[in-house]
Structure 1
């Protein structure tokens, strides 16, 4: 059994975007955003983020964001400010940080959707062709490059392929997930930090000050976007056309037939939207519960628990796969020092084993990752193959996997 572990370097391999851009990294996110058409779209919200920085005393927020700022550090700072404002009961401080936090989630998803909105990724199709029905891909990436490649090259489907059954799947309208056909076998795709095409409801504080979701379903409920060829109901009717499967414009479809959370005794929900002349009104429907991408942002303290048992189940499945794999292929993942969970995942999985797997590392700067596998995870040199190279469609993955 093979397990592929994909990090940011795997996403960087996609060079087929009509935008001419590749997936950003932490230090060039806003520079990449500026090179996309959406940066000039008034429906793409930045006011909350800029307002947060102004309140913080940053004189030129736009220049600050484009100064090589680490977007992961910024998002962590905003999350901490939001939670502190909730504890102290400062409504204006909470509003600025809450809005900035949500806008960053949408901006992450929007930049990724714009870049992946092109032909199916050839490097990811190369991975898909090498996968058998018992194999798995684990990824910390939010993009849907691997999802689309699997759907093209194998019998993998969103209905069953993520290791969790979606509550609803959007394909020009919401539908229930179908059962896997009898005898159908396909690899698994386990997305450990969520996905741009996974949807949930907005977060909101409850009476006790906890952040909860605005729907009344189990917090681990997953909705999945697959495709849209016609306008759909979304926030303020702001549907954007022209997207390939597994990608959408800034606003994903609203959740239909999903109960909203009650405001609580003595409370009401109030929703307002300022209409301004420079922001044209949307013409698509607006019914349903407003949705947002279900991703774990790149913050220091990742709030997996806000989504119930969803991520606990996915990480448990990932551990089982790693514990049973004969071959583990690591592509473009650097084991960031802030991602303590990934380190623990490998330690737990490898401690369960009675035999040592073959580990292959493909990375342009593999030294630190190779050292981690040798010193921290106990993989001996004869079981470790280190390839100093970039992952691309020209790389011969099949040769890499030969004994």
Structure 2
């Protein structure tokens, strides 16, 4: 795996593969904070909260959202760790139930952060190694501070524990024992479909930096239907999942073949790019999907999100094949990616239809 994917694959390894069974269309979020900071500094010579808005995915991760809302000069005072020692944030869930992993510089940084927090208002909670700063889900508007990573927007407390070079933050303490354990082969990065998706991204981005990414479920292609009705349930039987998804297609609706999961990433080298990797059970279907995705991007996305496109497939030995699309813009501002931002904004408005599942030619 290319080194440019190291932060993403490391981050995915901090999450359990049970994330894939969550009945939501967007199952996990990743932001490479170090990459955002580096690109902003290269472009502007300084780093401000505005520059972190290049990565809108961070709005889904409480500490990243706090960083965007606050003052980078006061980050150490509020967070208890230097911004330069934060590598990435990765997590899942939606408020008020969220889990976020802080990828830090090294084990000592994670240990020191726990010490700093316990020297403040954090106290031991439940099992050894877990700390918190209040009662779960109890709001206190007098403590609400959009720039504080250890409080929710309504002042509710948070809970944390360290594991190696990461600190895991959760809305409730009962989530942490499982997160602090050893996932073994049950880490998200060890799941064969996720491995196929990251291999597809490697084909898509080459030596570009991945700035942010969203892990999507099959339900992402069925935006108008309740995700819980789409999700095929547990297990890794590719044929059973595929047959279940085909049954959900509305007659007469045009789209792409149903996919098993996907990664949508913001990448940057000389120019901003969007990379899409979708998992399929065979490369014939993946090849068709890649062609259709390219056509649908060209015809449904606004001019600001257009660019040079390329497609590919990437076969994985465990029976998956990734359909890959890369769209590269012509901008040179390293603090912006209008292609990815347009995708993210359109998706929030339910207007992003490039990956809509439907009948194929």
What is the TM-score normalised by the length of structure 2? 0.30
Structure having the larger proportion of residues in helix: 2
Larger radius of gyration: 1
What is the TM-score normalised by the length of structure 1? 0.27
